[in-house]
């Protein structure tokens, strides 16, 4: 059976829908800032997911509109949001204890690069004139039980962001467990990088783009792959 599940690469919203579908019911999840926040648009009520935001809240609701906007109620991206029934507020040290203490099931982050062993680079290009800003990225990468990355597989120059070793400064070591890209979903584990599915390319075409040895997902051996 082919692991190609789509004849075209996935757009941002399709990718967000796919990540949302893969989040186990009842999970506590942090969606970082930027592209991963799109995932919240596709979480269903039946999934009963509780969203955490690093600035001190569990039970975050959708983006606030119109009269709902309240400057005291924002998310990590400083966008006004809403609270859902059952929400709670806590100070920053407690919020990061939730991460560091291993209480979050999943965080979803963007990335500049991910290595074959799950190293993440997503906070700094390393350019000498860049102003570095890290926020909660290192804490999330280190603390959540599963770290999912959402990114395009290739840079604008056509270079793979899934790499043998990250050349950008690291955010965390060996922390990424899955990478969702427009061209494929990668599972990163002790046995290397497994391709769960491809979009708009065959496994062989994908391997030609990525400088890391890939293993096609084998349904018969699926018991060995965590979380699928």
Partner 1 sequence: MLNFIDTVGQAVAGIKDGSTVMIGGFGNAGQPFELIDALLDSGATDLTVVNNNAGQGDQGLALLIKEGRVRKMICSFPRQSDSWHFDAKYKAGEIELELVPQGNLAERIRAAGAGIGGFFTPTGYGTMLAEGKHTRFLDGKWQVFETPIHADVALIKALKADGKGNLVYRKTARNFGPIMAAAAKHTIVQVSEIVPTGALDPENVVTPGIYVNSIVKVA
Q: How far apart are CA 95 and CA 143, in angstroms?
A: 11
Identity of the residue, 119 or 146, whose beta carbon is nearer to partner 1 in the bound complex: 119
Identity of the residue, 100 or 145, whose beta carbon is nearer to partner 1 in the bound complex: 100
Span from 41-49, 54-62, 181-189, 193-201 in contact with partner 1 (CB under 8 A):
54-62
Q: Is 220 exposed, middle or buried (0-12, 13-18, 19+ CB in 10 A)?
A: exposed
E strand residue ranges, the chain: 4-6, 28-30, 50-53, 57-63, 81-89, 106-109, 113-115, 120-121, 146-150, 162-163, 176-180, 184-189, 192-199, 214-216
Q: How far apart are CA 18 and CA 22, in angstroms?
A: 6
Identity of the residue, 138 or 209, whose beta carbon is nearer to partner 1 in the bound complex: 138
CB of 153 to partner 1, least distance (A): 24
CB of 96 to partner 1, least distance (A): 3
Q: How far apart are CA 195 and CA 217, in angstroms?
A: 5
Q: Is 54 a catalytic residue?
A: yes
DSSP state of 160: B
Identity of the residue, 40 or 181, whose beta carbon is nearer to partner 1 in the bound complex: 40
Count of residues that bind partner 1 according to CB under 8 A: 41
Q: Which of 54, 67, 83, 204 is labelled catalytic?
A: 54
- Residues 75-104 touching partner 1, rule: CB under 8 A, are 78, 83, 89-93, 95-97, 99-100
- Residues 112-141 touching partner 1, rule: CB under 8 A, are 119, 124, 129, 131-139
DSSP 27-91: -EEE--SSGGGGGGGG--GGG--EEEETTTEEEEEEEP-GGG--TT-B-TTS-BEEEEEEEEE--
Q: How far apart are CA 181 and CA 186, in angstroms?
A: 8
CB of 39 to partner 1, least distance (A): 20
CB 227 within 8 A of CB 177: yes
CB of 84 to partner 1, least distance (A): 13
Q: By CB under 8 A, is residue 5 in contact with partner 1?
A: no
CB of 86 to partner 1, least distance (A): 15
Which of residues 45, 46, 67, 72 is near partner 1 by CB under 8 A? 72
List of residues contacting partner 1 (CB under 8 A): 53-57, 70-74, 78, 83, 89-93, 95-97, 99-100, 119, 124, 129, 131-139, 142-143, 169-173
Residues involved in catalysis: 54
């Amino acid at each position: 059976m082919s692991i190609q599940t789509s004849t075209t690469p996935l757009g941002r919203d399709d990718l967000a829908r796919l990540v949302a579908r893969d989040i186990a019911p009842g999970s506590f999840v942090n969606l970082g800032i930027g592209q991963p926040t799109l995932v919240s648009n596709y979480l269903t009520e039946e999934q009963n997911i509780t969203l955490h935001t690093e600035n001190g809240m569990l039970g975050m609701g959708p983006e606030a509109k119109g009269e709902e906007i309240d400057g005291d109620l924002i998310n990590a991206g400083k966008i006004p949001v809403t609270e859902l029934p059952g929400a709670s507020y806590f100070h920053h040290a407690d919020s990061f204890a939730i991460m560091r203490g291993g209480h979050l099931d999943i965080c979803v982050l963007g990335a500049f690069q991910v290595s074959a062993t799950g190293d993440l680079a997503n906070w700094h290009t390393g350019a000498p004139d860049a102003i570095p800003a890290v926020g909660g990225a290192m804490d999330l990468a280190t603390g959540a039980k599963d770290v999912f990355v959402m990114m395009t597989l290739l840079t604008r120059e056509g270079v793979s962001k899934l790499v043998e070793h990250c050349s950008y400064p690291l955010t965390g070591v060996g922390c990424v467990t899955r990478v969702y890209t427009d061209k494929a979903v990668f599972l990163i584990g002790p046995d290397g990088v497994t391709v769960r599915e491809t979009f708009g390319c065959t496994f062989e075409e994908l391997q030609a783009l990525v400088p890391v040895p890939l293993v096609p997902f084998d349904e018969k051996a699926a018991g060995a792959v965590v979380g699928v």
